[in-house]
Amino acid sequence: MPATVKAVLISLLVASPALVFWAWLVILPARFTLLCPDGCWCSAGGDKIDCTNSSLDNIPVIFHKDARSLTLDSNNLTYLKKDAFLSSGLARLETLSIDKCGIVGVEPGALNGLTLLVQLSLMSNMIREIKARTFGNMSCLKRLYLGYNVIENLEPDSFLGLSDLEYLHMNENNIKYIHPELFIHSPNLELLSLGSNQQLEIPTDSHFINSRSLKSLFMENCSVTSISMKTFAKVAGLKLLDLSANCLRDIDTNVLVSLPQLSAFYLHRNPLQCDCQLLETWRRCKARNIETASGPDAPVCDAPSEVKGLWWAVLQRSQCSQGHIAYHGDYSNIKYNQTDDTYMNEYENYMKLIKYVQGPVHVVLFIFGFTGNLVLLVIIICNKEMRTVANMYILNLAVSDIITLTVNLPVNHAYLMSGSWKQGLFLCKFFAFSRSLSVGLSAYSVAVLSIQRYNVTVNPLHIRLFSPATCRVTMAAICGVWIVASVFALPSALSMHADMYCSHYDSQNYYTKVVVFELLVACILPLCVIVFSYIMTARHLVKSSLPISQQVQHPQENTRRSIAKIVLGLSFVFVISYGPYHIIWTYINLADFPEKRELFYTYSVSTCLLVFNSCFNPVALCCTSLAFRKHFKRYIMCCHRRNAPNTNFELTGST
């Protein structure tokens, strides 16, 4: 069996698991596209369905059973009747959003069948009341969003059955009264948002709500005028209390006594009376290191007149005598300094890095990379002695580098700088496809070059310039590289979705598999082929006992050494350019978000290395090939000579 055929067959055998993986990645989104309801979008993995603004007036019954997330926003679902979802085939649904649909009522039992639902959003509708047992036995529901409705009444059993509820958002409603035992059936409730319910009654002579598990309570802009120790007596585990933008003038100092675990107490945008009573509250907050400011907002005094508009920390320059407060010293210079937001600072620094460092670096890389690869194309196309088998693969590599520099690099940088995608779904998918295609072309071209190097070593007597036979074989191999790279780039394109952003986040579960697939086929497998080819070459050289004839030994040895140096140089560039990027990107997609923050800069460097690859390839050829070096000097330094280079030096008639 010919050596090249043998190497190709072994490479295909090694790649067979990747081919099976690819088939699954392509068939899966095709299947879910066929099952997707009319007017809806289904993610590549089938776990997300988006039917936003699809003019639906009832719940479709043709959803596939694998759906985990369903969005029905901005439709005509004005009333949810009992068993509305029972026949929809959504038994495994975990997230449901029905926002901005003009819903006026939800009948008890309307959500029957959604027993695994974890998150439900009914925001921005016209719901007036939550009837008893509206949510049935949805024991898995953890997050419920009911904000921006017109809810007035909440019956004592409105949330009966929500035994695992953790987050409840009811801001921007018309709630007037909340029964103190409303949440007794939700023992795991941790966050309650009641902001902008300006008619809500807050008692001072009895407890407001009974929820021992509650950790965060948001009641901003609720027209609260006073609170007492009894108000929050049954939420002793509270750690965050937001009473900003209310009508509080005085704060009962015993409120903090009833909240021993409180660590954040937001009071900004209240008409605070900075008197002796508030002084005691301020001292207790300071002694317990309770945070009282949120971002740029901090509590400000409204009275007395000498401290009006000043941060309430001016109370440290005050003294009380017989119930009267007096300020002394240079209290007017006490200013609030906003605490740094670490994450936002990291993000801002990252964007500065992209704008002021990565941007100029990309410009330099574009100029040098495009010039180098363009000259490389001219050298191979315009010089007959350079049109060799190996150089055709190098030409193909230069084409992939030019695609990276002229298409992927500008589009990617413009997208990062703008922060949004406005070019539509087709261009979003095409951009993802082009990016994966260029990576695949580079990887597979280097892999094929390594096989070519093995072939030159095993069949030294067949080294020659292009003949019709070698031309056909080489063109077939290059076409094969393009076909394989195009086919393997499809899953990345299928995973993308364009809304405000061109991203894979709507298909994250599927895309995680795509990332692993790309690590396998664009990094590990090509590297295995390269290493395998080198091992086979070394093995052949060790076992070979037939001396090469004197007539052909010298030029063939030069050729073999030249190809070896070129392949080694390009392989080294491939490893340092693609290895870090694929490893870091795979880690980012498999790790949790808090860990991802630390990789902002590392990922940015790895993307630069990815672009560096397009500049390194011409440099590697100049360093490893005398023929290419002479031609580069000729074209770049404008050293034109009428006589062509000697066709006997390295790479002529062979590579």
pLDDT digits (tens, 9 = 90+) for 459-469: 665 554 456 66
> What is the full DSSP assignment across 518-569?
HHIIIIIHHHHHHHHHHHHHHHHHHH---PPPHHHHHHHHHHHHHHHHHHHH
- Amino acid residing at 441: L
Residue 106 lies in a domain: no
Q: In the predicted model, is pLDDT for residue 343 greater than 60?
A: no
Mean local confidence (pLDDT), 523-541? 80
Q: In the predicted model, is pLDDT for residue 448 greater than 80?
A: yes
Residues in the chain: 655
Domain count for the chain, please give it: 1
The whole-number pLDDT of residue 541 equals 67
| Confidence band, pLDDT 50/70/90 cuts, at residue 73 | very high
- Amino acid residing at 419: G
Residue 229 lies in a domain: no
Strands (E), 107-215: 119-121, 129-130, 143-145, 153-154, 167-169, 191-193
Q: For 542-555, write each residue's pLDDT tens digit.
A: 666 445 444 444 55
Which carries the bigger pLDDT value, residue 296 or residue 249?
249
Mean local confidence (pLDDT), 583-612? 72
The whole-number pLDDT of residue 243 equals 95
The whole-number pLDDT of residue 363 equals 86
Q: Where are the alpha helices (DSSP H) in 263-403?
A: 276-287, 342-352, 359-382, 389-403
Residue 137 lies in a domain: no
The whole-number pLDDT of residue 561 equals 63
Residue 322 lies in a domain: no
Least confident range from 100-104, 108-112, 237-241, 646-650: namely 646-650
List the end-to-end C-alpha distance of the chain, in Å, as a whole number: 22
Chain-centre distance for alpha carbon 455: 43
Q: In the predicted model, is pLDDT for residue 587 greater than 70?
A: yes
Highest-confidence segment of 273-277, 412-416, 550-554: 273-277
Average pLDDT, the chain: 81
| CA nearest to 252, candidates 237, 269, 267, 240 | 267
Which carries the bigger pLDDT value, residue 256 or residue 538?
256
Residue 246 lies in a domain: no
Asked whether the beta carbons of 155 and 181 are under 8 A apart, the reply is no
Which carries the bigger pLDDT value, residue 456 or residue 407?
407
CATH number for the domain spanning 444: value is 1.20.1070.10
| Burial of 361 (C-beta count, 10 Å sphere; 0-12/13-18/19+) | middle
Q: Containing domain of residue 368, as a range?
A: 356-542+558-637
> What is the full DSSP assignment across 254-298?
HHHHS-TT--EEE--SS-EE-SHHHHHHHHHHHHTT-B--BTTB-
| Confidence band, pLDDT 50/70/90 cuts, at residue 643 | very low
Residue 55 lies in a domain: no
Q: In the predicted model, is pLDDT for residue 13 greater than 70?
A: no
Least confident range from 128-137, 450-459, 558-567: namely 558-567
Which carries the bigger pLDDT value, residue 170 or residue 397?
170
Q: For 101-112, write each residue's pLDDT tens digit.
A: 999 999 988 998
Residue 441 lies in a domain: yes
| Confidence band, pLDDT 50/70/90 cuts, at residue 342 | low
Mean local confidence (pLDDT), 91-98? 92
Q: For 137-174, write each residue's pLDDT tens digit.
A: 788 999 999 999 999 878 788 898 899 999 999 999 99
Q: In the predicted model, is pLDDT for residue 513 greater than 80?
A: yes
Residue 22 lies in a domain: no
State the Rg of the chain over Cα.
34
* 430: phi then psi, degrees, rounded to nearest 5: -65, -40
Mean local confidence (pLDDT), 275-303? 90
| Confidence band, pLDDT 50/70/90 cuts, at residue 339 | low
Give the pair of three-digit tokens for residue 365.
Answer: 């890389």
